[in-house]
Amino acid sequence: MSAQAPTLAIIGGGQLARMMAQPAIALGLPVRLLAEAEGVSAAQVIADHVVGDYRDLDTLRKITDGCAVVTFDHEHVPTEHLHALAEAGVAVRPGPDALVYAQDKGLMRERLAALGVPCPRNAIVATAEEVVEFGLPCVLKTTRGGYDGKGVWVVRAAADAAGPFEVAARTGVRILAEELVDFRRELSAIVARSPSGQAAAYPIVQTTQRDGICHEVIAPAPGLSDALAGEAQSIALRIAGELGVVGILAVELFETADGHVLVNELAMRPHNTGHWTQDGAETSQFENHLRAVMDLPLGAPTPRAPWAVMVNILGGDTPEPGRLYDGFPHALARDPHLRVHLYGKELRPGRKVGHVNTYGEDLDDCLARARHAAAWFAGELGDESE
Ligand code: ADP
């Protein structure tokens, strides 16, 4: 075995790449980063980085030159560039033939339907008339380019469809209509899969969104029956296998009022709903992503405690530079078991700048501690709340 492990290229300098850097250090994996700008979250911690445009094939070729494997912080690298890199001999993980189903919600729906995976009723629509024909109320989504609730509209009248179709006309993306699911709650299934086919499934978690952004995650989902949890895990493992996903696959699910699960969407990278694993599981999703893309044996996804809670820290409405760090003494002194993960981002209203994790025997205690700390960091609590 050579002394030096092969180099892993990561495209995209956000917090997911930053959090991949931590297990890369522990595993002794050299990492090279393509960052979208100097000083972005992951560029602060990965010394071997280049600033460039991930939409430019030459830039992608340069950054992956000499790397054994390339993986991603986001899903936006054009599919044809991924094919070009694969043809040039770089192991693209996840590969373009899988990743396209995380890039395009229309293709994802078609493929999942062909696999018989339960999804909300859906159709590609091109006009307001077709939306009415599909049935109102419904949800319209851009098939590509959406994130954190951007590119998702609840449509109750034909006139509401005008906005989405304007976006479609401007950007050239197709519009997907879905039934408005009356869900009991949202769940997430996270699995890791390696090229040799080994897979590991994390417990099914409950996720709460606020303004389209993941806000809070509870692991495992409280009160979820073993049968439904098993079904959700099987769905995720099956999708990972059938689509040939390598790395982490996150399957966002709706638990319906009548006790079924429907797939909402797929992400093929570490996911916000898996951040709890950094402290609440034996092997974090970031480490298992790296192990999977490097085709190393996966680590145990086993929880460390009966409950784990993650709460995102969003920039408050009155951002004060430095406030995030000012929160440290209070938050850390108040709760020595609190785990804090900050992304090195400036506070802006609504922007994800970090998260906190708690774990333990008592769910209410975990929730209270994590919520308090996140609110404190976000500047939502004043000094009187001590
Ligand atoms: P994004 O790509 O922005 O994450 P999603 O497709 O996950 O978009 O939708 C964002 C949120 O909108 C979901 O988490 C859910 O709360 C809501 N949503 C999406 N699709 C539906 C649907 N068919 N029925 C009801 N709510 C939906």
Cβ of residue 248 lying under 6 Å from some atom of ligand 1:
no
Q: Do residues 274 and 195 both lie within one domain? A: yes
Asked if residue 264 has its Cβ within 6 Å of ligand 1, the reply is yes
| Domains contained in the chain, number | 3
Helix (H) or strand (E) holding 62: helix 57-64
Ligand 1 geometric centre to CA of 282 (Å) = 30
**Domain around 50:** 8-92
Q: Do residues 188 and 264 share a domain?
A: yes
State residue 190's pLDDT score. Answer: 98
Q: Is the CB of 287 under 6 A from ligand 1?
A: no
- Centre of ligand 1 to C-alpha 264, Å, is 7
Same domain (yes/no): 154, 187: no
Q: Is residue 102 part of a domain?
A: no
Q: Is the distance from the beta carbon of residue 255 to the nearest atom of ligand 1 less than 6 Å?
A: no
| 235 token code pair | 């769905």
pTM of the model: 0.96
> How many residues does the structure list for the chain?
386
Pair 171, 256 in one domain = no
Residues 193, 173 within the same domain? no
Give distance in angstroms: CA of 180 to centre of ligand 1. 9
**DSSP classification of residue 221:** P
Residue 41 per-residue DSSP state: T
Order across the sheet with 69-72: list the strands. Answer: 49-51, 31-35, 8-11, 69-72, 91-92
Q: Is residue 2 part of a domain?
A: no
How far apart are alpha carbons 61 and 35 in whole angstroms?
Answer: 14
Q: 130 with 78, same domain?
A: no
- The residues that bridge with 310 in the sheet, in sequence order, are 217, 357
Domain containing residue 61: CATH number:
3.40.50.20
Q: Is residue 115 part of a domain?
A: no
Q: What's residue 317's pLDDT?
A: 62
Q: What is the pLDDT along the chain (386 residues), one digit of tens a residue?
A: 456 789 999 999 999 999 999 999 999 999 999 999 999 999 999 999 999 999 999 999 999 999 999 999 999 999 999 999 999 999 999 999 999 999 999 999 999 999 999 999 999 999 999 999 999 999 999 999 877 778 999 999 999 999 999 999 999 999 999 999 999 999 999 999 999 999 999 999 999 998 888 999 999 999 999 999 999 999 999 999 999 999 999 999 999 999 999 999 999 999 999 999 999 999 999 999 999 999 999 999 999 999 999 999 988 765 565 567 777 888 899 999 999 999 999 888 888 999 999 999 999 999 999 999 998 888 777 654 44
- Tell me which of 139, 251, 252 to substitute to probe ligand 1's pocket, judged by most ligand atoms within 8 Å of the beta carbon: 139
Q: Which amino acid is residue 233, in one-letter code?
A: Q
Claim to verify: residue 203 and residue 239 sit in the same structural domain: yes
Q: Distance between CA 251 and CA 264 in Å, rounded?
A: 7
Please tell me whether residues 259 and 316 are part of one structural domain. Answer: yes
For residue 87, the CA-to-ligand 1 centroid distance in Å is 35
- Does the beta carbon of 209 sit less than 6 angstroms from any atom of ligand 1? yes
Same-domain check for residues 16 and 54: yes
Residue 217 CA, ligand 1 centroid: distance in Å = 16
What is the residue-wise DSSP string for 249-303?
EEEEEEEETTS-EEEEEEESS--GGGTTHHHHBSS-HHHHHHHHHTTPPPPP--B
